[in-house]
């Protein structure tokens, strides 16, 4: 169930909020837990046992860590059980067939793929990291063990952040989970509705519309367009235009979805961490990763980079730690070699900046932004390579070997205004405008109502509103 659908907007969300607000204080987590399970099972009921098993495993590991607090070997066993169980499920469903197919290609073996796991359990890349953070934090004694399984289940399966983040650590919401009175107020609900509306607008008015330019160019098989060009027929200039459109689509799609999740969290009385901070205005790749998917970067920094030694053990060790983090980041995004290459690509860029380039970038004004945007767009081309209808080799050949074909002028004429609006929306200018409009009640309410009505109308009339991160 995608947030930008009629089913979610007009049925699930209003019913869930009504039940949640009307429920007695002590039963709110129960309502949230049950409604979130309905949300999860709506499209993925066959993976329901996987979700329940993961909740039970980490819940019991937390209890075991508390029960045997004085025994270091026992605590390590419970930690290992939580890590192996959570990561094992993620590996089995997401990477097992990739490993088998890679072994067949590299070693000439003939392993048969595992049947029944061609479709990923909904949100498994996100909620496994949440359960891992809980078990690790309990082991570190950074958080107290959760004794109420309903409260713990509500944390793991909470529907606003279940399928696309932001990745919420247990300590981020533990205090709010245990508030029985005054969990939310009208101001918080209003702020949540505002964030949700802006997120919905980013998703359906920008991401979905600018995404049509990309599909028009590459001509995927299930594209609703009847005028697509096809990657082989596109000129180099047109392919660059398409990759830029995809870069914009991915940002508005993911950041919009995250904003909707954060907004719904506020409506329920929870403060989720920020996930995006205008990454396309970055002046270095280092800065880009501090602004893009911030909860994922923060998770790897806290649970991988720092435990490996961070930057405390010399430059060589820092570079190695960076290699591990970026490799894992690429693997986390998908079971394909292009994602691994994408992760290693960013490792090389970040290592170069750490070694010498960052000091020069910090002195520049315009060229660091151009440098960063160019490399990020190239990265997204690597990211989308081998997707449906997109040949990795042909895409990069078209990008870097000048070739003729269909020119971009027709598409610039049709999408020029949308592209310009999208670029502006990648900057803080819209937020500054909103901060002025929100000072008056009339302009604040009018702006939100207009955005909500237009976005809803688009949802009603749309036949294609995919969420890209469902693939990851």
CB 58 within 8 A of CB 50: no
- The whole-angstrom separation of Cα 23 and Cα 240 is 53
For the chain, give the longest Cα–Cα distance: 71
Segments in 95-123 forming alpha helices (H): 96-107
Q: Which residues fall within 8 angstroms of residue 373, CB to CB, at 6 or more apart?
A: 280
* Chain center to CA of 230: 28
Sole residue written with tokens 């959570």: 86
Q: Helix or strand or coil: residue 406? A: strand
Q: How many CB atoms lie within 10 A of CB 394?
A: 14
List 406's β-bridge partners, or say none. Answer: 234
- The whole-angstrom separation of Cα 18 and Cα 1 is 19
b/e per residue 129-166 (b: at least 16 CB within 10 A): bbbbbbbbbbbeeebebbeeeebbbbbbbbbbbbbbbb
List 234's β-bridge partners, or say none. Answer: 406
- Respond yes or no: is residue 333 known to be catalytic: yes
Q: How buried is 200 (Cβ within 10 angstroms: 0-12 exposed, 13-18 middle, 19+ buried)?
A: buried
CB 269 within 8 A of CB 186: no
How far, CA to CA in Å, does 4 sit from each of 196, 251, 340, 356? 11, 16, 30, 44
Q: For the chain, how many residues are written?
A: 472
CB 261 within 8 A of CB 272: yes
CB 151 within 8 A of CB 177: yes
**Out of 147, 293, 333, 369, which one is annotated catalytic?**
333
- The whole-angstrom separation of Cα 258 and Cα 164 is 7
Is there a cis peptide before residue 166, judged by omega within 30 degrees of 0? yes
- The whole-angstrom separation of Cα 217 and Cα 235 is 10
CB 189 within 8 A of CB 212: no
Q: Helix or strand or coil: residue 234? A: strand
Q: How many CB atoms lie within 10 A of CB 402?
A: 9
Return the active site residues.
333
């Amino acid at each position: 169930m995608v947030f930008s659908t009629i089913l979610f907007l007009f049925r699930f969300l209003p019913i869930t909020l009504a039940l949640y607000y009307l429920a007695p204080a002590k039963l709110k987590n129960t309502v949230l837990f049950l409604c979130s399970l309905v949300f999860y099972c709506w499209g993925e009921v066959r993976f329901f046992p996987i979700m329940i098993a993961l909740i039970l495993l980490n819940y019991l590991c937390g209890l075991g860590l508390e029960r045997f607090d004085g025994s270091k070997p026992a605590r390590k066993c419970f930690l290992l059980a939580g890590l192996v169980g959570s990561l094992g499920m993620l590996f089995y469903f997401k990477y097992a067939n990739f490993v088998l197919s890679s072994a067949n290609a590299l070693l000439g073996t003939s392993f048969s793929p595992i049947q029944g796991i061609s479709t990923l359990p909904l949100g498994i890349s996100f909620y496994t990291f949440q359960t891992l953070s809980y078990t690790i934090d309990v082991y570190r004694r950074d958080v107290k063990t959760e004794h109420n399984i309903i409260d713990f289940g509500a944390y793991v399966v909470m529907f606003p952040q279940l399928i696309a983040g932001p990745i919420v650590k247990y300590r981020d919401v533990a205090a709010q989970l245990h508030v029985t009175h005054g969990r939310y107020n009208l101001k918080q609900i209003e702020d949540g509705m505002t964030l949700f509306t802006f997120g919905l607008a980013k998703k359906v008015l920008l991401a979905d519309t600018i995404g049509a330019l990309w599909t028009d160019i590459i001509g995927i098989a299930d594209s609703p367009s009847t005028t697509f060009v096809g990657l082989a027929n596109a000129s180099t200039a047109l392919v660059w235009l398409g990759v830029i459109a995809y870069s914009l689509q991915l940002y508005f799609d993911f950041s919009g979805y995250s904003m909707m999740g954060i907004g719904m969290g506020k409506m329920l009385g929870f403060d989720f961490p920020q996930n995006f901070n205008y990454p396309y205005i970055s002046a270095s790749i280092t800065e880009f990763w501090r602004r893009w998917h911030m909860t994922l970067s923060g998770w790897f920094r806290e649970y991988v980079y720092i435990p490996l030694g961070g930057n405390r053990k010399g430059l060589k060790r820092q570079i190695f730690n960076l290699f591990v983090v970026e490799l894992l980041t690429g693997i986390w995004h998908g079971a394909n070699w292009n994602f691994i290459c994408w992760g290693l690509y960013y490792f090389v860029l970040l290592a170069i900046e750490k070694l010498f380039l960052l000091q020069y970038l910090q002195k520049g004004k315009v060229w660091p932004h151009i440098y960063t945007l160019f490399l990020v767009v190239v990265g997204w081309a690597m990211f989308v390579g081998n997707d449906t209808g997109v040949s990795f080799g042909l895409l990069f050949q078209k990008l870097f070997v000048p070739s003729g074909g269909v020119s971009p002028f027709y598409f610039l004429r049709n999408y020029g205004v949308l592209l310009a609006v999208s670029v502006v929306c990648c900057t803080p200018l819209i937020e500054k405008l909103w901060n002025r409009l929100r000072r008056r009640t009339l302009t604040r309410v009018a702006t939100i109502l207009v955005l909500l009505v237009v976005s809803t109308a688009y949802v009603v009339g749309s036949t294609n509103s995919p969420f890209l991160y469902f693939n990851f």
